[in-house]
């Protein structure tokens, strides 16, 4: 009712219902992004495309710029363009050997391209170089791989502990999904509950950043009943 009332007010002020609807959508989106944070950032694709263009120009001018190749690899990885990501990451291999993010992104791309063993090795190199790499995200991939390989329980347990030490509500939720898909409802429930617990302990911008994962965890917990 309040939203409808606001629509009527804007319509009265603008004299144009269509313009009022557009303004209302913008207002709702801005408020949602500022205070809730569940909806995606609609401007992110534009910013990403502009950054990709800048990085491509940089590697054309300076092909030896390993940092630019790494960032391009990460960007294409996040877009799900794994072959393209690998092409840039492998160009950075000479200078980036030992860099945890380089090994993680390359390993994750290999995993999606079906090169499971190579992917596992690279991701293990990433956490060996820095256990905190990418806020625990590598451990989610390792859990998925170890479960597929039917690794002994102590390896799964140790990886869970590492994730709990270095992860975030987002990676806890992702781990919960991994265990739910594997049919391990107890561990899935534990990670969903951990997501909510950690979210509740956050404040300010972090609470907005992780709210999406807390909400999804609550939905997932309900589905496990």
Tell me the pLDDT tens digit for each residue of 103-129: 999 999 999 999 999 999 999 999 999
Question: Domain locations in the chain?
Answer: 44-130
Contacts of 160 (CB under 8 A, 6+ apart): 139, 143, 175, 187
Rounded Cα gap, residues 25 and 23, in angstroms: 5
Query: pLDDT band for position 207 (50/70/90)?
Result: confident
> Is residue 25's pLDDT more than 70?
no
Rounded Cα gap, residues 172 and 213, in angstroms: 9
Query: pLDDT band for position 94 (50/70/90)?
Result: confident
Angle at 66 between CA 60 and CA 68, to 5 degrees: 60
The pLDDT value given to residue 22: 67
The pLDDT value given to residue 126: 97
> Is residue 79's pLDDT more than 80?
yes
DSSP letter (8 states) at residue 131: T
Tokens linked to 185: 């409802």
CATH architecture, range 44-130: Alpha Horseshoe (1.25)
Predicted TM-score (pTM) of this structure: 0.84
The pLDDT value given to residue 205: 80
pLDDT (mean) for 23-47: 63
pLDDT (mean) for 13-25: 62
> Is residue 31's pLDDT more than 60?
no
> Is residue 43's pLDDT more than 80?
no
Rounded Cα gap, residues 195 and 172, in angstroms: 5
Q: For the chain, what's the residue count?
A: 225
């Amino acid at each position: 009712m309040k939203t409808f009332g606001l629509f009527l007010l804007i319509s009265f002020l603008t004299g144009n219902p269509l313009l009022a609807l557009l303004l209302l959508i913008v207002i709702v989106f801005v408020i949602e992004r500022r205070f809730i944070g569940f909806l995606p950032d609609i401007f992110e694709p534009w910013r990403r495309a502009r950054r990709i263009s800048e990085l491509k120009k940089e590697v054309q001018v300076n092909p030896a710029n390993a940092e630019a190749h790494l960032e391009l690899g990460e960007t294409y990885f996040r877009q799900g363009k794994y072959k393209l990501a690998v092409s840039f990451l492998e160009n950075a291999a000479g200078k980036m050997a030992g860099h945890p993010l380089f090994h993680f992104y390359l390993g994750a791309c290999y995993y999606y391209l079906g090169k499971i063993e190579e992917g596992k090795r690279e991701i293990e190199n990433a956490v060996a170089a820095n256990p905190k790499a990418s806020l625990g995200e590598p451990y989610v991939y390792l859990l998925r791989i170890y479960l597929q390989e039917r690794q002994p329980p102590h390896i799964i347990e140790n990886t869970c502990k590492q994730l709990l030490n270095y992860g975030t509500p987002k990676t806890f939720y992702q781990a919960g999904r991994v265990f739910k898909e594997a049919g391990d409802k107890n561990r899935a429930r534990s990670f969903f509950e951990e997501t909510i617990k950690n979210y509740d302990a956050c404040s300010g911008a972090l609470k907005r950043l992780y709210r999406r994962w807390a909400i999804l965890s609550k939905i997932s917990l309900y589905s496990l009943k």
